[in-house]
Amino acid sequence: MPFASPLKIGMAMWSHAPWQRSLYGRGCPSTDRLSRYAETFSTVEGNTTFYATPKPATVQNWADATPDDFRFTFKLPKTITHQYKLMHCQGQLGEFFHVMAPVAEKTGIWKIQLPASFGPAELPALSAFLKQLPSELTVGVEVRHPAFFSKGEEEKALNRLLIEHQANRIIMDTRPVFSAPATSEAVIDAHQKKPRVPVHAIATAMHPVVRFIGHPELDANDPFFANWLQRLPLWLSEGRQPYLFIHTPDNDFAPELAVRLHRQLAQQLAGTAQTLPELKLPQGGDQVSLL
């Protein structure tokens, strides 16, 4: 079981039909996919909440389908982050958390994804927003404005703010997918939608988040994961609990890539105090070349 691990690892979704070969088994109804997913992986990105607040019954189903130590990460609605830009939205925020209450204890990180237009001038709004959140919530902030990747005063101000509020900086590593030639619809779509930003591997709080957007060929990801084989063990040795989310352009083989990278990390940590448990795909999907 993966849940004794100091590392939380998962994917960008829990329901994806091609994963019948690796996670669910053929004939698995879509209503059982989350529970099957949670038998192997310890976290997931809940991106649907970015587009619409779910129905209360749906949230309760999510809570019922997962074990106590499973951890969701849910994005705040885009009405809050993109439309209101974190200002004058206390009512919408309260309504959202009310609906999400059944999964509150299983939500490891509430994710604040900000648009590229949210720049240094808006940092006071981010600070005020973080101050009003309940202190027991763990949050992650993903920025996309170029100034926050310049290693200049604007980025330093952002990092200081996140450290002050114990908010985790979400790190997106898109190097692997942008190294892939644009010869398939999935890669072309990823190149158009994913931000091409520098990778600044900084931990501003106790749960750094890495979104690894992989190359469609599994072994082509290894050179890009090499730096993470150093950084993740460092964070673990500091007592942090990182979250690692694995994507691929169409996500068809994301579980196989997750197992591949997890095994590399387990080998790196062998013999240390941060030993990782084995991670296997129940339907034999890890027979695809992993190492």
- Averages of pLDDT over runs of 10 residues in the chain (291 residues) are 72 96 92 96 96 96 97 97 95 96 97 97 97 94 96 97 98 96 94 92 97 97 97 96 97 97 95 89 62 46
Please say whether the beta carbons of 82 and 56 come within 8 A: no
Please say whether the beta carbons of 224 and 173 come within 8 A: yes
Angstrom distance (rounded) from CA 284 to CA 291: 15
* Residues forming beta bridges with residue 178, ordered by sequence position: none
Q: What is the pLDDT of residue 285?
A: 52
Pick the CATH number of 8-287 from 3.60.20.30, 3.90.1200.10, 2.60.40.1930, 3.20.20.410: 3.20.20.410
Q: What is the pLDDT of residue 117?
A: 95
- With 0-12 / 13-18 / 19 or more C-beta atoms within 10 angstroms meaning exposed / middle / buried, residue 63 is middle
Q: What is the pLDDT of residue 2?
A: 39
Please say whether the beta carbons of 58 and 100 come within 8 A: no
What pTM was computed for the model? 0.94
Q: Which residues contact 60 (CB under 8 A, 6 or more apart)?
A: 102
